[in-house]
Structure 1
Amino acid sequence: MHQLVERTTWLSVIVPAHNEEHRIQRTLADLRSALPTAEICVVANNCTDRTVEILRGIALHDPLLTFADIPAVVGKGGAVRVGFNLARGDVVAFVDADGATPAEELRRLVDVLGNADGVIASRWKKGAIVETQQSLKRRILSRGFNYLIRVLFKLPYCDTQCGAKIFKRSAIQDAMESVETSDFSFDVDLLYQLRRLDKCVKEEPSHWADRAGSSVDVKTAVPRMFASMVRLRLKYSPFRFVVPLLDRLAKLKPIAARRTLDVLVLSEHSPHSAATSVIEHEFFETCSKLRGERYRFTYCAAAALSADRVEKGALVKRRRLARLRLPFLYLSTLKDRFDCVIELSPTGRLWWTPLFSLKPKLVFSPLRDRLPAIYGKTRLARAVPSTAMDLAELIDATIIRGGPRLCAQADGSWILIERGNDLSVRRLPLLLAPEGVNVGTLPSIRLEPLRDTVERV
């Protein structure tokens, strides 16, 4: 079976599904008839009906069907991103589970892809065939939403919300890392990230028919989508500091999906330096025990950002200049790359990260009582945990201050890390793939110097 999968899964079709027991079987049968050699990945999100049971039965007879069962609410955006990381095709398609876009139409879009990075189906572009129209109310809301998208993001598309989209994996790999929207505005977030990366995405008139039985509540979905778009616009503006407040007021739940959680570590010395302090040595030693875990640590040492001199006075002065240099480097290159920032402060010297970084922060310092007021919302610790498990728990508790995370495990499975009602770290397993399907493995932890990383950007 593995040889068959390896040869034929150049195309993967991702189908997010929420309580689709009455439509999923027919949709999958149509997809398999039109695309007999494609890999199909169904992501069941918070299903309370028989959807997962039906998927298990179909998977017994279809070796190219994989599925994930997500008991938590991660929205369409979270479901598609889990499917993207589960899929193995060089070309990845997304299609809604309601079958509004015929499977044959999806096959035609694959042929249209050509040299472009992606193709999106459109119900509103000239040449589209719409068999069954949506209600007048929904059409008005659709056109109003599209106008908002054009104004806020300068996206040239007539229809960003049609369920059928096809992309080359190489084109959207980096874009997926930046997408955080979990609701139905996920499509706009993805297209905007691709635009920021200068990718070529074509819009193609499509054959489409409205399907009865939608579980979307317009009264709640529309305000949430509007808030999500305002959040996305603010995130890439000088007013990005407002985003955490908007998340709380609008009760948004942005979810980032990561194969590895990127952590920026700021310290006096690098891990291999002979001059490391006790707290630095303990941190780097405990990090080395996180083999096969989901973290990638990038360190930035004051000594590495300055030219060391023999004269003590000159060395201290240059290290201060290094601290002044970091904010400009961070804001210009690194601000969107990390999930959290860790400061190691054995002597009380600080990097002043709250002044230029909105990421969740963790400070290890035996002098924590001397930290200034700007570190009031930072997670503080006097000592580094002695075990890798305790350190991972502390890092996870820090990261989820910035929102839930979908994270890959070393065995290829996925978990949702979020904050529980008692503010503890809650981990929910997500992936239930058919037995025997290998969904990939993760590399061991890597410690990367900041300079080497920046050169690759």
Structure 2
Amino acid sequence: MIAIGSDGRRNLEPRNGRAKRRASALTLGSDRALVLILSIAAFFLEHVRKMGCKHSLERTATSDAFFEDPNSLKKVPCPSICDNSEKYLSLIIPAFNEEHRLPGALVEMMSYLHQRAVEDKCFTYEVLIVDDGSTDRTTKVAFDYVKKYKVDNVRVLLLGRNHGKGEAIRKGMLHSRGELLLMVDADGATKITDLEKLESEIHALADKYRGNNALTDSCANFMNKPLDAEVVVFGSRAHLEKQAIATRKWYRNFLMKGFHVVVLLTAGPGIRDTQCGFKMFTRAAAQKLFTNLRLKRWCFDVELVYLCKHLNIPMSEVSVNWAEIPGSKVRLTSILHMLFELILIRLGYGLGIWKIYT
């Protein structure tokens, strides 16, 4: 068959020849898409593999970290989460360029802790500020509090360079001395007095799984017997969600809803607010969780939920007071990085590349 072109000339190419060319172009496009998908998959798998190898080295490496004491100018060796506890409560504060927000939070925290220690002599505490490679005066602000409250109560761990919030908290947890360990944000968005809600819940859960009656005086009981149960309590802002939706921009609500769906698919149901920076762990739970934790930045919270489920560590969620503090470091690129890390969780654990140590 001979076709007539739009210019009136005869087109001697058979129609089935043009069909073959179109089919060939589609095949080429499909091949390119397949190569792109395989390349992305290879990139993720290689990234997951490297993280797994690095984690294995970190688990077996001996720590030579230390705290600096500006009062005596001596170096204080860092304790290990595997050691016996020396304090009742440890507060771990990750700080990256927080010279403006950290002082207000520390004033509130230290006032509460000091007052509670005065009223209850068996209440012992430490505040561990982890400077995640700050380039401002965060380190100076932190050391001012070491000078004021002494290195036994306030300590500063310098990471040297920025690793991410997850890594800062992991390091702080691994070098803490408390029987109860509370991670708290440097902006002071959550009222420090709310730790009592988490504390009561963690003791109730610990007694439940130990088969004991509820503790009436948590501190006194701790002094007589360590809280050896593996329990985690998450502070939650879920009860404030409607108010937050009403005040946030529509695109931020859209992004957060999408993020929550992906989190649900990654870690499963159980915890409504995984990202609240106010979480309490028993020492036994922290030892298992933070020696397994791999993510260093945004979604380490989600990984903690995933690990709790696979290590059969009981979790609970408690509503806390929370206020928006100016200076948030969450950006659009942060959301994309979160999605990237959620994929890493699914690949790393789902394919068995990341081992869970018990």
Range class of TM-score, shorter chain? 0.5 to 0.7
Which residue of 105, 108, 113 corresponds with 1:35? 113
Number of the residue aligned with 1:115: 204
The gaps in structure 1 that reach 5 residues or longer are 244-334, 338-456
May I ask how many residue pairs the two structures share in their alignment? Answer: 241
C-alpha displacement of 1:127: 10
Residues 85-234 of structure 1 aligned to structure 2 (within 5 Å): 85-116=174-205, 117-125=231-239, 134-216=248-330, 218-234=331-347
Question: How has the CA–CA distance of structure 1 residues 48 and 127 changed in structure 2, closer, same or farther, with 3 Å as cutoff?
Answer: closer
Q: Cα deviation per residue 1:65-109 (whole Å; 9 max; x = unaligned)?
A: 111112222101110011012210011000111111111122332
Residue pair 2:199, 2:280 contacting (<8 A) in 1 also? yes
C-alpha displacement of 1:129: 8.7
Question: How has the CA–CA distance of structure 1 residues 7 and 215 changed in structure 2, closer, same or farther, with 3 Å as cutoff?
Answer: closer
Counterpart secondary structure, 1:178: coil
Number of the residue aligned with 1:51: 138
Compute the RMSD of aligned alpha carbons: 2.8
Number of the residue aligned with 1:419: none
Counterpart secondary structure, 2:149: coil
Structure 1 Cα separation of the partners of residues 242 and 314 of structure 2: 21
Structure 1 Cα separation of the partners of residues 135 and 311 of structure 2: 38
Number of the residue aligned with 1:260: none
Question: How has the CA–CA distance of structure 1 residues 35 and 19 changed in structure 2, closer, same or farther, with 3 Å as cutoff?
Answer: same
Q: Cα deviation per residue 1:192-232 (whole Å; 9 max; x = unaligned)?
A: 1111111111011221111111233x221111110111111
Structure 2 Cα separation of the partners of residues 56 and 32 of structure 1: 14
Number of the residue aligned with 2:350: 237
Structure 2 Cα separation of the partners of residues 96 and 188 of structure 1: 17
Q: Cα deviation per residue 1:385-423 (whole Å; 9 max; x = unaligned)?
A: xxxxxxxxxxxxxxxxxxxxxxxxxxxxxxxxxxxxxxx
Structure 1 Cα separation of the partners of residues 234 and 146 of structure 2: 28
Which residue of 84, 103, 107 corresponds with 1:25? 103
Number of the residue aligned with 1:82: 171
> Identity, % of aligned pairs?
30
C-alpha displacement of 1:134: 5.0
The gaps in structure 2 that reach 5 residues or longer are 1-70, 77-83, 118-124, 206-230
Number of the residue aligned with 1:14: 92
Residues 357-396 of structure 1 aligned to structure 2 (within 5 Å): none
Letter in 1 for 2:257: R
Are residue 62 (structure 1) and residue 175 (structure 2) matched?
no
**Which protein has the bigger helix share?**
2
Q: Which is bigger in relative contact order (C-alpha 8 A, separation at least 6)?
A: 2
Question: How has the CA–CA distance of structure 1 residues 31 and 134 changed in structure 2, closer, same or farther, with 3 Å as cutoff?
Answer: farther
Structure 1 Cα separation of the partners of residues 243 and 126 of structure 2: 27
Question: How has the CA–CA distance of structure 1 residues 23 and 126 changed in structure 2, closer, same or farther, with 3 Å as cutoff?
Answer: closer
Structure 2 Cα separation of the partners of residues 7 and 171 of structure 1: 13
TM score, norm. by length of structure 2: 0.62
Structure 1 Cα separation of the partners of residues 200 and 247 of structure 2: 26
Counterpart secondary structure, 2:329: coil
Question: How has the CA–CA distance of structure 1 residues 231 and 20 changed in structure 2, closer, same or farther, with 3 Å as cutoff?
Answer: same
Letter in 2 for 1:219: L
Letter in 2 for 1:99: G
Residue pair 1:128, 1:206 contacting (<8 A) in 2 also? no
Deviates more, 1:224-233 or 1:108-117: 108-117
Q: Cα deviation per residue 1:360-405 (whole Å; 9 max; x = unaligned)?
A: xxxxxxxxxxxxxxxxxxxxxxxxxxxxxxxxxxxxxxxxxxxxxx
Counterpart secondary structure, 2:155: strand
Counterpart secondary structure, 1:212: coil
Q: Cα deviation per residue 1:318-344 (whole Å; 9 max; x = unaligned)?
A: xxxxxxxxxxxxxxxxx555xxxxxxx
